[in-house]
Structure 1
């Protein structure tokens, strides 16, 4: 099971995720307001150290994906083939998150037939029992 590595900058992301909220760090300056991911101390657009965590809708689209096949790390080989997706957020198109498309929040990584994935497919965020973001197809 994947467990997030939490650092000071990313801790709020994981705290919100544990509550089932997808939030992205954004510049708090009104003149900028740019979202950023991964979280970091200052805005790469304007250099401000002021930030806030904005709630996202959790909607996005599959921007890219791969389907790993064995040989893999031993802990994942039994689950292959499974998908690893890059999702572009609808609320912040420059933000892309990596995860897996599954059939339910706590389903195994291989719960979705990889043949059902398409670039551009609409997805929405869900969270497993550990707070890890995962994705469901909007039109299963």
Structure 2
């Protein structure tokens, strides 16, 4: 997708391993891998469980609810392809895994560690939709 500056934003590319995740995001569904052996949720997508090392993983739907663990606001982008301000955060999901993401639809001055968030999908290219998060009103 081209920005106002006329620069194309880089987009993630799906691999065989990550394809189910990216296809679900395009449908507005947040998927995460779950180990059949120990029920541990695994993100980023892996070939085996980080907890018990089992290769027996399923894709399951995540509720998309979590809290902000840490964040930073970017005011000066690496390239003109990114709009600022941009809030980058680590979100702890209720299923027990963490995701590096963007916080959207929120005033950067009002974002706090511990704030409740919910997934908010954003199409950044015709073939790529990112799972971002928005702060949930208290």
TM-score, with length taken from structure 2: 0.82
| Equivalent residue pairs, number | 126
In the alignment, is the contact (CA less than 8 A) between 2:77 and 2:84 conserved in 1? no
CA RMSD of aligned residues (A): 1.7
- 1:45-64 matches, within 5 Å, as 45-64=51-70
Distance in 1 of aligned mates of 2:48 and 2:136:
34
Match of 1:138 in 2: 136
Distance in 2 of aligned mates of 1:65 and 1:36:
21
Distance in 2 of aligned mates of 1:113 and 1:85:
14
Structure 1 range deviating more: 118-127 or 20-29 = 20-29
Mark the CA change 1:68 to 1:40 in structure 2 (over 3 Å): closer, same or farther. Answer: same
Structure 1 residue 87: Cα displacement: 0.6
Structure 1 residue 61: Cα displacement: 0.5
The CA deviation string for residues 19-75 of structure 1, in whole angstroms up to 9 with x for no partner, is: 11111111122xx12111111111122222111011111100111100112263232
Q: Which runs of 5+ in 2 are unaligned?
A: 1-8
Distance in 2 of aligned mates of 1:87 and 1:22:
14
Match of 2:73 in 1: 67
Q: Which runs of 5+ in 1 are unaligned?
A: 104-111
* Secondary structure of residue in 1 paired with 2:109: helix
- 1:78-117 matches, within 5 Å, as 79-92=83-96, 95-103=97-105, 112-117=106-111
In the alignment, is the contact (CA less than 8 A) between 1:4 and 1:132 conserved in 2? no
Match of 2:24 in 1: 16
Q: After TM superposition, which residue ranges in structure 1, 4 or more long, deviate above 3 angstroms? A: none
In the alignment, is the contact (CA less than 8 A) between 2:73 and 2:86 conserved in 1? yes
TM-score, with length taken from structure 1: 0.81
